[in-house]
Amino acid sequence: MRSLASRSGTPASYLGRSANFPTPAPTLTVIGNLITAGQTKMTEWAAAQETAKTKTSERNDAFDALCAGLSQLAGYVEAASGGDAAKILSAGMDVRADRTPPSVPPQATNLVLTAGDFPGTLDAMCDSQGPTAKSYEWQVSPDPMTESGWATKLTTTKSSATLPGLTSATKVWVRVRALGAAGPGPWSDPATKTVP
């Protein structure tokens, strides 16, 4: 069956010329009125869209002007007050709190090691060290553990990791520390596990 949309004109214009449909329902007059009403509403909608764009632009301009005026007023108050917090507050404005310098993450705690899903891997996790921790550095040492034996295995953004490339059936030691904007936190207490 051929689609009506594939031919030019409207279905009503074809019905009006066809002897096969002598009394279309609804009538061609009703269809014509619906088409006119639809075209009118489309025209109104297009005009409303243009009005909305204009109003949005006007609103944005007004808001930008307000922000610029408030910034200028704040600059005046800051200059006239000499930075005196009490004077600034007396003008009905807030005083920005001094920034606290970033702190070093706390020591990583509750390090747990379990067998990984594949030979030569261990799964490791510790408690999250909160917002000061941006990443975690994981180190492994062969047994017996010595300070010079520690080697960084990987760095993750989460407080869990799968440590790959370990030798199966060997005992290893693992430690972790949180890294933050102010530097690394202290190393965790080491944990030990035999690699599967």
Give the global pTM: 0.52
Give the per-residue pLDDT at 101. 82
10-residue averages of pLDDT along the chain (196 residues): 48 63 81 91 93 92 90 87 86 81 91 95 94 94 93 95 95 96 94 95
User: Would strands 171-180 and 135-142 be described as parallel, antiparallel, or unpaired?
Assistant: antiparallel
CB count within 10 Å of CB 161 equals 20
% helix / strand / coil in the chain, to the nearest 5? 35, 20, 40
Distance of alpha carbon 124 from alpha carbon 114, whole angstroms: 7
Distance of CA 4 to the CA centre of its chain: 46
Give the per-residue pLDDT at 1. 42
Give the per-residue pLDDT at 2. 47
